[in-house]
Amino acid sequence: MIAGSTRYLRFILFAVFACLVLYLITQSKYNDAQEFGTGAPSQAGNTAASSSNLNNQKRPAVGEAYNPADYPMPLTPNDPNWDSILFDGRAPGPRMNATFVTLARNSDVWDIAHSIRQVEDRFNRRYNYDWVFLNDKPFDATFKKITTSLVSGKTSYGVIPKEQWSFPEWIDQDKAAKVRADMKERKIIYGDSVSYRHMCRFESGFFFRHPLMLNYEYYWRVEPGIQFYCDVHYDPFRFMAENKKKYGFVLSLYEYIETIPTLWESTKKFIKNFPEHVVEDNAMDFLSDDGGETYNKCHFWSNFEIGSLNWLRSRQYLDFFDLLDQDGGFFYERWGDAPVHSIAAGLMLKKDEIHFFNDISYKHTPFTHCPTGEKLRLDLKCSCNPKDNFDWKGYSCTSRYFDIMGLEKPEGYENQQD
Ligand SMILES: Nc1nc2c(ncn2[C@@H]2O[C@H](COP(=O)(O)OP(=O)(O)OP(=O)(O)O)[C@@H](O)[C@H]2O)c(=O)[nH]1
Ligand SMILES: [Mg+2]
């Protein structure tokens, strides 16, 4: 009797022990997955999962930590599961805290409809990111109806506060008017426009802190009337997050000096006043050929940008914008947001935080970025004419970007130099 109950007790103890071991094993697996942030490289471990497994996977909530290896994201046609993302309805994997953003007038509705349709067909119908629309006047019902019908994510519509679209009180209006008259005489593009100047100042200093943008970490800027010629296969937002990129571009070129004669003087003042904001290993050599003495006019074309909103909202960037705004060049000259963003990126980001998206084809009249490399164009189902690619032509700064990054230029670039 006693022997029987001892055996019974031993069995129960063994069962409890086995349960405890099992519990510990499952818990430690769960914790491993939780400890990974969004910073680990994305290409790791994308070997096994089949496309249907990928699509049945529960995705992490936006902002929730995940292990990139659990959600393989093929970046090139050579990576496994490339085709699954292309053909299946929704791309598997996590979504970043990101949005498209467009500044537009009501009259831009059909041009932006065209842009959205292309972004959706080539990318967003599989990812369903949100889209924020901003305007200095309220959007009308037609604009909202058409754009909401085209965007696969959530849309929202914001009006810009008056003080972000008007002359600051320290600007001498007579002086600004004389500048516009003079620029009109000299036929400088948009030289006589007041609204263009408000637009450039808003895109330089305010879009990223509009209340509708505050909850997002990354943005992709889209303008009316642009073209996308290739499939965007992977998630560029996720690429930015996992590879710690803060600014992405596709086209770069030289700025018209008539629009920014004193921008570099103000930049030098910023460097002097805020030396702590200028980072080591920056991309100054993209901006200057003499170590910062003069500006070579190179800039990333900001009508396409994929970037970090937290960077634009940082003290460093805001100190730069405030200094420029006080100096008044948005109104006394015609400073564009492209050189402003580019100079900021060149001074305040490490050069490897800036990314060139060769695989995203794009046209904003008159310049086209058509990916260099025939295999890539075929894999991405591109419809652009490689002869139109601006990257390696004399007026582009992309070659310089490759040089300062120590990157090898893509095969075939020599054939596209003129
Ligand atoms: N709400 C609003 N948006 C504007 C205004 N002016 C320009 N925009 C938007 O600001 C962005 C840049 O303006 P664009 O006119 O495209 O300037 P650009 O790209 O330098 O010049 P082009 O495209 O060659 O005309 C676009 O998304 C426009 O829709 C304006 O007065 N009000
Ligand atoms: Mg434009």
- Residue-by-residue DSSP string for 14-45: HHHHHHHHHHHHHHHHHHHHHH--S-S-TTTT
Q: Is-contact 265 376, C-beta < 8 A?
A: no
185 in Cβ contact with 76 (< 8 Å): no
Q: Report yes or no: 161 and 202 within 8 Å, Cβ to Cβ.
A: no
State both tokens at 408: 């090898």
d(CA 354, CA 239) in angstroms, rounded, equals 12
Q: Tell the residue nearest (CA) to atom 15 of ligand 1.
A: 196
For residue 86, what pLDDT is reported?
A: 62
Q: What is the pLDDT of residue 28?
A: 34
What is the rounded distance in angstroms from the CA atom of residue 300 to the CA atom of residue 261? 18
Please report which residue ranges of 123-262 form alpha helices under DSSP H.
141-150, 173-185, 194-205, 236-242
What is the three-class DSSP state of 364? strand
**pLDDT means per 10 residues in the chain (418 residues)?**
59 63 41 28 32 62 88 85 72 94 98 98 96 98 98 98 98 98 97 98 98 98 98 96 98 98 98 98 98 98 98 98 98 98 98 97 98 93 97 97 95 83
Distance (Å) from CA 28 to ligand 2 centroid:
52
Query: What pLDDT does 187 receive?
Result: 97
Q: Tokens 């069962």 label which residue?
A: 15
The rounded Å distance from CA 155 to ligand 2 centre is: 21
Q: What is the pLDDT of residue 58?
A: 78
**Residue 274 identity (one-letter amino acid):** F
In sequence order, the β-bridge partners of residue 98 are: 218
Burial code (b: 16+ CB inside 10 Å, e: under 16) for 391-412 equals bbeeebbbebbbebbeeeeeee
Taking CB atoms and a 6 Å cutoff, what residues make up the pocket around ligand 1?
A: 102-105, 108, 135-136, 195, 199, 223-224, 303
At residue 59, the pLDDT reads 86
Residue with CA at minimum distance from ligand 1 atom 17 = 196
- Residue 174 corresponds to which amino acid? D
Q: Which of 111, 162, 206, 223 to mutate to test the pocket of ligand 1 (most atoms within 8 A of CB)?
A: 223
User: Residue 195's CB: how many other CB atoms inside 10 A?
Assistant: 11
From the CA of 102, give the closest atom in ligand 1.
27
356 φ/ψ angles, rounded to the nearest 5 degrees: -95, 120
Q: Which atom of ligand 1 is nearest to the CA of 222?
A: 27
Give the per-residue pLDDT at 14.
67
Query: Which of 100, 101, 102, 105 has most ligand 1 atoms within 8 Å of its beta carbon, as the pocket-test mutant?
Result: 105
Place of tokens 């519990």: 23
Helix (H) or strand (E) run with residue 252 in it: strand 252-254
Atom in ligand 1 nearest the alpha carbon of residue 196: 6
pLDDT at 87: 61
Catalytic residues: 305
